[in-house]
Amino acid sequence: MTSNLASVGRVLASARTRAALSLGVVMAVGATGTFAYWTDDAVISGTSFTAGTLDLQVNNGNSYATTTLSMTGMVPGNTSAEVLTIKNNGTVPLKYTMSGGLTGTDAAAYGTAGSLLLTVVLNGTRSGTGNSSTCTGGTTIVAPVALTATPGTAIIGVRRPTTALAATATESLCFQVTLDPNAPSSLQGKTATATFTATGTSDVS
Amino acid sequence: MKGRRLGAFLLVAILVLSVAGPSQAAISARHWSRLGLSRMGHHWTPNLDKPLFGRHLDLVPGQTEKRTFYVRNQSGEQARLRVSVNITKAHRSLQRDAFRVAARTRAGWWQHVRHTGSHAVLWRTMARGAVIPVTLRVRIRPRADNSSMDRGLRLQVKVRLSQRIR
């Protein structure tokens, strides 16, 4: 056993063995170098995506009740008018449509007679007072149309404006309601309420 | 004895130099970036200095935004490309199926990203000098409802070119 250890010691002590061992170390280092690999990274800085907000307002609110358009004791040929402001209160362009009609106990009577006529004028101004106020100037976008007893009836059926309403932009619509000069006398003393709903969409195609 | 030592020293020195040789070459190769990026495929830089889609973008349902950039292997050897998309601040906008994020190269299949975090969307081998276009797409589904409004996410792209180990 002792002689075996001595022979191992002699072998390790020999210059040739030491050279071979050092060569092994060098080769081990070389092998490690072969397995190292390079990488090159690039980061493309980030973008924040946000779904835009869509908020259509009438006279700066989501609902608006008015008595300006009301007519009490109206007779055939009377008119009333009011300017409403449509606003894009969201962050993306929008277009809108509008529906409307009559509600209340006598809505059907007015609807059947087709005697309450609505006109909408873009950028029109209100002139006159009471039951003789009208929309003047501007561009008529809804020619006189009879209001029905179905509030969901399309009034502005094609999305507008042609060029979408940009974020924060507004447009002015003058609403004029006329009791048809040929309204039947059966409507005397009857009452109805007109309701309009503007619906915005981000589909601006 | 002296001659033998000198011989052993020379042998070791030659071996060390032969091992160190490629490393020297690699060091000199680092003078330019192995990875080249370009928006149009003409001018190459190590990084795109501006975000692909701009810093902020508002989207609406049905809107799709795509951007393409190009990657070039400038390493002088075959390499592996890996493109990752990192999505943060998504606030469940991906899970709610409102936002869709995807990437592809050339006319390949869109690789969709459906969760926040980092996702490898493209990985492939690039030949020396090869150029690969990478297209990213972000959109909101046309039928996304109002609950998607004002939601968002942040998107960052990481490109890595690695030496190919055979």
The one-letter code for the residue type at A203 is: D
In order along its 166 residues, chain B shows pLDDT tens digits of 556 676 666 556 555 444 444 444 444 544 678 999 999 988 999 988 888 998 888 899 899 999 999 999 999 999 999 999 999 988 777 766 688 999 999 888 999 998 889 999 999 999 999 999 999 999 998 888 888 887 889 999 999 999 877 6
Is residue A31 classed as helix, strand or coil in its secondary structure? Answer: helix
* Positive or negative: CA dihedral A109, A114, A119, A125: negative
Chain B contacts in chain A segment 32-91 (CB below 8 A)? 33, 35, 37-54, 91
| Residue ranges per structural domain of chain A | 2-38, 56-201
Taking the C-alpha atoms of residue B51 and residue A61, their distance in angstroms, rounded to an integer, is: 37
pTM here is 0.69
ipTM of the complex: 0.72
Q: What is the pLDDT of residues A65-84, one digit of tens each?
A: 988 999 988 999 999 999 99
> What separation, in Å, do the N-terminal and C-terminal C-alpha atoms of chain A show?
96
Taking the C-alpha atoms of residue B112 and residue A181, their distance in angstroms, rounded to an integer, is: 64
> What separation, in Å, do the N-terminal and C-terminal C-alpha atoms of chain B show?
44
> Among B49, B139, B149, which would you mutate to test the A interface (most chain A Cβ atoms within 10 Å of its Cβ)?
B149
Q: What is the pLDDT of residues A2-19, one digit of tens each?
A: 455 455 556 555 666 666
For tokens 């059966």, name the residue.
A186
HSE at residue A145, side-chain half, CA atoms within 13 A, is 20
Q: Which residues from A are below 8 Å from B62, CB to CB?
A: 202-203
What residue of A is the nearest CA neighbor of B152?
Answer: A50
